[in-house]
Chain A
Amino acid sequence: MSDPKIEGYEFKPGFKGMAQDTGSDQTMFKGVHWGKAMMWIFLLSDTFIFSCFLISYMKGRGSTLVDWPNASQVFGLHVFGVEVPLLLIAIMTFVLITSSGTMALAVKYGYEKNRKMCGWLILATAIGGLIFVGMQAFEWSKLIHEGVRPWENPFGAKQFGSFFFMITGFHGTHVSIGVIFLFIYAYKTFKGHYDEGKRGWFTTIKGDYVEIEILGLYWHFVDLVWVFIFAFFYLW
């Protein structure tokens, strides 16, 4: 990405540039929208939340005396008479990663002021998220049907159920919030709120296509977190 044009300010490459930006007045991240900077810092904070969750999970898994259940067995799916391990989760992961791709495209079309394409891609992302949450609900109900509860687990250590429901639940909440915002943003895009700078309902801030990028950052983060949860719960 090229540097933004700022009157009276000359960008320098590399470490010198970083030092110069840090030492300059007004802004530290030159040309970065306030909301975008905010989202990055929020995501840093959110990273710590998920890190705490996953470290607690490692500690909990490491210190139980009862055996941890075998992931490929617990998360297996019985399709057409064949046991396929991790089938559902593979599809879920595929859908979520794909929705990250559509989100990235939506950001691109947004900046090109291609209102229609941008709107459709946001809608596609939202639907991808919705499918993900739906499949997660299916997985939850399957496990609950098999007797796994936050407080007990027929396959082994009871902490398995506790951590699984808590962490995937917390992640699912993130996805659901993202889906709600994606639908709102799709509506706003189709209505042209970002083209005409219409003010938000609550915040009274003028609309801008940068908001789509900010939501995109959040969405990519949620996907990234899912990769870690996937690795820790399903592959370990």
Chain B
Amino acid sequence: MSDEYENKKGYQAQSSESISSGGGGSGTVSDADYVRPAEIPEQDLYHGHSFITKWVFCQDAKVIGVQYFLLATFTGIIGLILSWLMRLQLGFPEAAGFMTAEHYYQFVTMHGMIMVVYFLTALFLGGFGNYLIPLMVGARDMVFPYLNMVSFWMFFIAVVVLLASFFVPGGPTGAGWTLYPPQTILEGTPGSGMGILLMCISLILFVAGFTMGGLNYLITVLQARTRGMTLMRMPLTVWGIFTATVLAMLAFPALLVGALMMTLDKVLGTSFFMPTILQAGEVLEYGGGSPILFQHLFWFFGHPEVYIVALPAFGIISDLISVHSRKNIFGYRMMVWAIVGIGALSFFVWAHHMYVSGMNPWFGFFFATTTLIIAIPTAMKVYNWVLTLWRGNIRLNVVMLWCLGFIITFVNGGITGIFLGNVSVDVPLSDTYFVIAHFHMVMGIAPLMVIMGAVYHWFPLVAGRFLDETLGKWHFWLTFLGAYSIYFPMHYLGFIGVPRRYFEMYDSPYVTSAVGMNEFISMAAFIVGAAQFILIFNIIKTLKIGKPAGHNPWQANSLEWLTPTVPPEHGNWGEKLPVVHRWPYDFSVPGAKEDFITQTTPPSEVAETEVEKT
């Protein structure tokens, strides 16, 4: 398979081959095929030689990526189970007799924190970032493999500390994932003892571990690209992960500081965030602190965090759409600048989470304006995805289904975002189910669809086998329709004023219409959650009896598919690093023999085609 492939596509840029195919040059290398010689020396890699150095404390970015992926998925499943318990309480309170209000608050909190930080962030940046960045930019590995390994194990410890809070006296914190003081550390809030302490420590460990990984991603992209790989020839996946990492490096410090100060308030009794306060009729020792300060610190992290999750999703989906509609991505440069622009803007919008916190009204005005400006680059991206599909040779496989599902869901969640970005609309809708519907659509379901699409797309590379399409279609349709059944009615619940984070509906005026709806939503949630196990079954089944994928099964152009072995080995490229001559989006070029031209195809080989210079 591999020999035949090599002959057909000539995917290794051998200069001697390119002359024989008739470029316009003289001498040994045709002028058109000239690429500057390597300016960075060959990377010095540590090759593991025992089980522990190969699979446990491994320094290979691909193994670390898979480790990140598995651990993040594990915590994600815990988050999923927590959401089931919450939905059981909301839909069928009589069946959830074992749950108290305290349990409910704890599950809400842990579900939120796990899904946003320990699942999505770790999975996109740690999982996809580690696996794809070195392969896509043509590096042998991340630039600091040792640091990368430590990064994963810090994340591991952070997860252990986080999950340990389920087993300490008082249980995990129940203050909501935003951890707003003062109630976070006051008695009466569940988990105000050990729970919040472990949460803060776990976040600090996560940030420390992530910083180590993030430095790797950034320097690999900036300083370790292969010959010919300019920044504007990188796949958008790399751009998305790169920009998200920049955001993370600048936003996580605020979380670190907030968590540290919260820890000191809890342990030492400092009053950074604690105002003078009464508890059970007794004046506490605290006094003079500012709870709003924590909100600012938290959301200075929290808003970029949304884009830390969204930008890799944007990048990945662009690549998937392009490959599976056999067309170049519409407006590549626009897409890159939109990613960078969204990333930059995301640092100036954080207080739109705080419209009801009692800020100066002019603050609301400023932050509403910046928030709505973000709609411009985001809308550009959506148009470009649609225009990429337009008149493309669309392969309606499972990957494409996830892509289409993503676009629709993202537009949907984005539009409700415009509602909530306006102060006057946000004030009545704040803290209702409308908000829940909005952020689950835009940063829950939409990125999840990208993850699923990416799993179906890159699984043949990681494992060398195709995932089952039929099971994949079941997985997609159940998830897609189910997710809409969950979150569409929530918009309505929000409009009739059902508040979020409430343990039960009590005897409220909206109770009659909300109860039936809650039962329906809960049923849908159980089904969607269960549908995710189809994927796990599919993966296990495929590892045993899946169809072998071989080289470049999707006929893609980017470097990760052009490794000499599938799955790629440590060091990725065998003897010689690839040489890049073009961007990764040359699909359906008129005059070309195939409908794709890989990044490593020398220009002289495709001189007769109408390929653009990129």
Q: Chain A residues in contact with chain B, CB under 8 A?
A: 6-9, 22-32, 34-35, 37-38, 41-42, 44-46, 48-49, 51-53, 56, 59-60, 63-66, 150-151, 157-159, 161-163, 166, 170, 202-206
Contact = CB atoms under 8 A, between A and B. Distances in A.
B143 interface: yes
A64 B270 CA distance: 13
What are the 5 tightest A-B residue pairs by CB atom distance, in nearest-first order? A48-B253, A162-B270, A52-B257, A49-B253, A8-B36
A49 B272 CA distance: 16
Given A9-B36, A23-B231, A158 B293 contact: no
A158 B287 contact: yes
B146 A41 contact: no
Contact of B229 (A25, A37, A42): A25
B256 interface: yes
Contacts of B144: 34-35, 38, 203
Interface in B25-83: 35-40, 44, 46
Given A22-B231, A158-B288, A151 B39 contact: no
A212 to B, nearest CB: 18
A52 B254 contact: yes
A6 B39 contact: yes
Given A53-B257, A56-B297, A204-B146, A32 B223 contact: yes
Nearest to A24: B230
A23 B288 contact: no
A45 B231 contact: no
Contacts of B485: none
B344 interface: no
Contact of B211 (A6, A25, A45): A45
A207 B570 CA distance: 23
19 contacts: A22-B231, A26-B39, A26-B226, A27-B222, A27-B224, A28-B223, A38-B218, A41-B218, A45-B252, A52-B254, A52-B256, A52-B300, A53-B257, A56-B261, A162-B272, A166-B260, A203-B144, A203-B146, A204-B146
A159 B276 CA distance: 13
A60 B290 contact: yes
A25 B224 CA distance: 9
A45 B249 contact: yes
A8 to B, nearest CB: 4
Given A26-B227, A49-B256, A56-B261, A37 B269 contact: no
Contact of A7 (B36, B230, B253): B36
A161 B232 CA distance: 51
A10 B253 CA distance: 38
B560 to A, nearest CB: 18
A56 B36 CA distance: 49
Nearest to A203: B146
Nearest to B294: A56
B270 A38 contact: no
A166 B293 CA distance: 16
A190 B572 CA distance: 37
Interface string B220-246: 001111111111110000000000000
A81 B260 CA distance: 41
A12 B63 CA distance: 41
A132 to B, nearest CB: 22
Contacts of B228: 25
B257 A49 contact: yes
Nearest to A59: B293
Contacts of B223: 26-29, 32, 34, 37
Contacts of A163: 272
B289 A159 contact: yes
Contacts of A51: 253
Interface in B305-331: none
Contacts of A27: 39-40, 222-225
B425 interface: no
Nearest to B246: A41
Contact of A151 (B40, B268, B293): B268
B335 to A, nearest CB: 17
A25 B293 contact: no
Contacts of B580: 25
Contacts of B40: 26-27
Contacts of A66: 288
A45 B250 contact: yes
A202 B230 contact: no
B219 interface: yes
Contact of A159 (B46, B253, B260, B271): B271
A151 B270 contact: yes
Contacts of A64: 288
Interface in B253-306: 253-254, 256-258, 260-261, 264, 268-272, 285, 287-290, 293, 296-297, 300
A23 B218 contact: no
A42 B252 CA distance: 12
Given A37-B223, A56-B293, A204-B46, A26 B257 contact: no
A25 B271 contact: no
B218 A65 contact: no
Contacts of B264: 150, 162, 166
Given A41-B215, A41-B249, A28 B289 contact: no
Contacts of B146: 202-205
Nearest to A159: B288
Contacts of A28: 222-223, 231
Contacts of B289: 60, 159
Nearest to B35: A25
A179 B252 CA distance: 26
Contact of B222 (A37, A44, A49, A65): A37
Interface string B78-106: 00000000000000000000000000000
B219 A37 contact: yes
Contacts of B35: 25
A202 B223 CA distance: 23
B276 to A, nearest CB: 9
Given A25-B36, A34-B223, A158 B271 contact: yes
A151 B271 contact: yes
A48 B288 contact: no
Contacts of A159: 270-272, 288-289
Given A26-B225, A45-B249, A9 B288 contact: no
B439 to A, nearest CB: 24
Given A48-B250, A158-B271, A166-B261, A7 B39 contact: yes
Contact of A45 (B230, B253, B288): B253
Nearest to A56: B293
B250 A44 contact: yes
Nearest to A45: B249
Contacts of B44: 205-206
Given A26-B227, A41-B219, A63-B293, 19 more contacts: A6-B39, A8-B37, A24-B230, A26-B223, A29-B222, A29-B223, A34-B223, A38-B143, A41-B249, A45-B253, A48-B249, A51-B253, A52-B253, A56-B293, A60-B290, A151-B271, A159-B270, A159-B289, A203-B147
